[in-house]
A and B are shown apart, each in its own frame.
Chain A
Amino acid sequence: MSETAYRVPTMAEMAANNETPEVLFWVGCAGSFDDRYKKVTVAFVKILNSAGVKFAVLGTEESCTGDPARRAGNEFTFQMLAMSNIQVLDMYNVEKIVTACPHCFNTLKNEYPALGGNYEVLHHSEYLQQLIDAGRVRLQGGEVFKGKKITFHDSCYLGRANDVYEAPRHVLEALDADLVEMKRCRTKGLCCGAGGGQMFKEPEPGKKDVNIERIEEALQTGADTIAVACPFCMVMMTDGVKNKEKEQSVKVYDLAELIAQAKGL
């Protein structure tokens, strides 16, 4: 793929050239800084490039949406971050946003309007489904995933929080793999254990970690791939697989990575 030149235009560059993107890709802190999730960011950018989507990112002008602060009870920090972001987004007249993080998605979509920020916000599972349905992302052959068992772990902030259950499954169905469900899925899906600020502190005393409870259920399906759609779920599921010493046989991938693999990107 070395001959393909992938482009990541920033909003600032676009504005300088008097251009308007179709959609702003909100990368998020995990997508920007976390080594594992940076790969998801890269995979998604490759897909956007190959689909010919005119997109842009904020680059260094992006800040945390404030979700972890708000969930941890710190409304001041949340509102400071949110207001700054709204200033930046409105300065560029952003109308449509796509993000690979359900926490960013929920905050931008549901919580920024109360502070004056109104945008059309999509999670990348919804956006990928739209690209597939519109024929802008084509998956031919399907050799890569033929006969492979994939299970999808619902992210709370995508599922229960926003009722997005089907989009990620539609994306996975396009892979021509064998999609198997865990016992607790969709509305009954079990949390990975990282939401609500838990990602940033040690758990309270108990008899088990939440991600271990969840990974045991995922392994029971016999799937060799656990698909996730959230950076926090990615960390928790990956740690769970390591804890069970299954790194060799079971892989955790984000939806975008699976699509990129299927397309050989």
Chain B
Amino acid sequence: MAIVQQIIFIAALGVTAWLIFQRIGIIGKTIRLGKDEDRTDQPGRRLSIMMRVAFGQKKMFDRPLIGFLHFAVYAGFILINIEVLEIVLDGILGTHRIFAGPLGGFYRILIGFFELLALGVLVSCTIFLIRRSVLKVERFQPARHREMNGWPQLDGKLILVFEIVLMIAILTMNAADSALQNLGSAHYPPAGEFLVSQWLKPLVSGWSENALIAYERIAWWIHILGIFVFAVYLTYSKHLHIALAFPNTYFSRLEPKGEMKNMPEITQEVKIMLGLETQTGDAAVPERFGAKDVADLSWKNLMDAYSCTECGRCTTACPANITGKKLSPRKIMMDTRDRLEDVGRIMLANKGEFVNDNKSLLGDYIIEEEILACTTCNACVQECPVLINPLDIILQLRRHKVMDEAHAPGSWNMMFQNLDTNQAPWKFSPGDRFNWASALADSDAGNNSTQS
């Protein structure tokens, strides 16, 4: 019987590892579709940002209560993995609580600590689930935010239910285990009562040894298979952020937020037009200006998309969204990921090669009205707890719309024309630019400025 369990376990572990490996492969491949961008300078500063923002979750504590609850889930998730190591070893070797012997009395303390974390995760996830389902937090409501319709809303709740089930399984499993120890059951050597699960023992009091063994085994399997399914599910879900938050913060932008990326491919042409340079040979004309599809964005924009956990802090800070415009920075990130997932599926179906499906990020996922509504205020960039930059994507899409498609609102075209001819966005003569100074000659300058 034990050997059958071992074989099933090893098979499940193998399938899980294979599935995750496949997913990492395709996610990595789609991220690498993006353009090169060097984000390896200043490693010390980058490491410090990652430690503070991802590891220390600095920005989550902007809202202290939510920050604390989220930290409880995060700490539980990281540390309980040490116990998963024991479970995996037990599963492969057919042992039971393999660490109990070597660790002696410390084992009980360790498991007690994990149980405390598990309780923290259980309580936090329950509160989160209530917040999402009952309290109707505005930024999660599909009625107000169309990008939350369907799967994203379900995804957010599913993961919480998952965690709750896993934590209940581990706590009740320990309670049954402890009861079996009391009965002197052969397979359950004394490891002691644990900090939290001892209070759950009354639930199984009076159960027969066989019933307890059955429950302990079922809970053990639910817990570990749950973790395997969770790990695979994660790669399809918004919860990928638990892994990508680290590289995503490490490779975040270090320049001032106001600085837009330069387009050096245009500089040479401008220099020739201004007579600063003479045409040497045939200048390489870029095939496309700005970004129309995911492959035109940088790899970091694409990693941003996979790192987004759809919390919507960006969208609730966005002035365009607050005032009812179609733009939602969260939707920009979700659309970018949706497009990447679609591209990944096409690649998988065609031996790793992308085959044109006549769709593009701009047009089929994100529409012009959204990107035009942006005030470039950087509120979304400021808000993101994992340093995602939706603005960078918006501006690259705008560049495509305006330069490549030559499609801009009429009043912007007027503005461009004024800039080209008068060097000012309004229709004033460049010769009048210094006229304001004449007001200073008047004694009462403030009330005497000329009307135009």
Q: Point out residues on A near B: beta carbons under 8 Å.
A: 1-2, 6, 8, 10, 27, 29, 31-35, 38-39, 41-43, 45-46, 57, 59-60, 62-64, 66, 68-77, 79-81, 83-84, 87, 106, 109-111, 114-115, 156-157, 160-163, 187-188, 190-191, 193-210, 212-214
Query: In the complex the two chains form, is A204's CB within 8 Å of B325's CB?
Result: yes
Query: In the complex the two chains form, is B445's CB within 8 Å of A42's CB?
Result: yes
Given contacts A74-B402, A76-B270, A206-B324, contact A195 B375 (CB under 8 A): yes
Interface positions, chain B 426-452, Cβ under 8 Å from A, are 426, 428, 430-437, 439-440, 443-446, 449-452
In the assembled complex, the Cα of A160 lies from the Cα of B317 at a distance in Å of 13
> Between A and B, how many residue pairs show CB distances below 8 Å?
234
In the assembled complex, the Cα of A205 lies from the Cα of B378 at a distance in Å of 21
Contact among B259, B379, B400, B433 for A33, CB-based, below 8 A = B433
Query: In the complex the two chains form, is B409's CB within 8 Å of A59's CB?
Result: no
A111 CB, min distance to chain B CBs, angstroms: 6
Asked if B290 is at the interface of the complex by the 8 Å CB criterion, the answer is yes
Interface positions, chain B 246-275, Cβ under 8 Å from A, are 255-260, 262-264, 266-267, 269-271, 273-274
**In the complex, which residue of chain A has the Cβ closest to the Cβ of B404?**
A73
| Interface stretch of the complex, out of B13-21, B92-100, B414-422 | B414-422
Contact among B267, B379, B409, B443 for A191, CB-based, below 8 A = B379
- CB-defined A-B contacts under 8 Å, sample of 11: A10-B434, A31-B436, A72-B408, A72-B412, A73-B408, A75-B266, A156-B376, A161-B257, A198-B375, A200-B425, A204-B326
In the assembled complex, the Cα of A115 lies from the Cα of B268 at a distance in Å of 11
Query: In the complex the two chains form, is A201's CB within 8 Å of B274's CB?
Result: no
In the assembled complex, the Cα of A213 lies from the Cα of B258 at a distance in Å of 23
Query: In the complex the two chains form, is A213's CB within 8 Å of B319's CB?
Result: yes
Asked if B31 is at the interface of the complex by the 8 Å CB criterion, the answer is no
Which residues of the other chain, A, contact B264 by a CB distance below 8 angstroms? 114
In the assembled complex, the Cα of A2 lies from the Cα of B401 at a distance in Å of 53
**In the complex, which residue of chain A has the Cβ closest to the Cβ of B424?**
A29
17 more contacts with CB within 8 A, not counting A160-B258, A202-B409, A206-B323, are: A8-B440, A35-B451, A38-B439, A45-B437, A60-B431, A63-B424, A72-B402, A72-B412, A73-B401, A160-B381, A161-B258, A163-B256, A188-B382, A200-B425, A205-B369, A206-B324, A209-B323
B237 CB, min distance to chain A CBs, angstroms: 29
Contact among A1, A34, A75, A208 for B263, CB-based, below 8 A = A75
Contact among B255, B271, B395 for A73, CB-based, below 8 A = B395
Given contacts A64-B423, A110-B259, A210-B320, contact A205 B325 (CB under 8 A): yes
Interface positions, chain B 343-380, Cβ under 8 Å from A, are 369, 372-379
Q: Which 6 pairs from chain A and chain B are nearest by CB? A: A161-B258, A196-B376, A207-B324, A73-B402, A206-B324, A63-B423
Query: In the complex the two chains form, is A160's CB within 8 Å of B378's CB?
Result: yes
Query: In the complex the two chains form, is A35's CB within 8 Å of B262's CB?
Result: no
Query: In the complex the two chains form, is A193's CB within 8 Å of B375's CB?
Result: yes
A106 CB, min distance to chain B CBs, angstroms: 4
Asked if B411 is at the interface of the complex by the 8 Å CB criterion, the answer is yes
Query: In the complex the two chains form, is B289's CB within 8 Å of A156's CB?
Result: no
Which residues of the other chain, B, contact A38 by a CB distance below 8 angstroms? 436, 439, 449
Given contacts A64-B423, A73-B401, contact A191 B274 (CB under 8 A): no
Query: In the complex the two chains form, is B424's CB within 8 Å of A33's CB?
Result: yes
Which residues of the other chain, A, contact B274 by a CB distance below 8 angstroms? 80, 83-84, 87
Which residues of the other chain, A, contact B435 by a CB distance below 8 angstroms? 32
Contact among A34, A72, A190 for B319, CB-based, below 8 A = A190
Residue of B289, B399, B415 most packed against chain A (CB within 10 A): B415
Contact among B273, B376, B381 for A80, CB-based, below 8 A = B273
Contact among B258, B398, B420, B425 for A68, CB-based, below 8 A = B425
Give per-residue flags for B297-321: 1 if the beta carbon is below 8 A from chain A beta carbons, else 0: 0000000000000000000010110
Query: In the complex the two chains form, is A203's CB within 8 Å of B259's CB?
Result: no
Query: In the complex the two chains form, is A77's CB within 8 Å of B416's CB?
Result: yes
Which residues of the other chain, A, contact B443 by a CB distance below 8 angstroms? 1-2
Query: In the complex the two chains form, is A210's CB within 8 Å of B375's CB?
Result: yes
Asked if B204 is at the interface of the complex by the 8 Å CB criterion, the answer is no
**In the complex, which residue of chain A has the Cβ closest to the Cβ of B420?**
A77
Query: In the complex the two chains form, is A156's CB within 8 Å of B262's CB?
Result: no
In the assembled complex, the Cα of A46 lies from the Cα of B416 at a distance in Å of 33
In the assembled complex, the Cα of A226 lies from the Cα of B401 at a distance in Å of 37
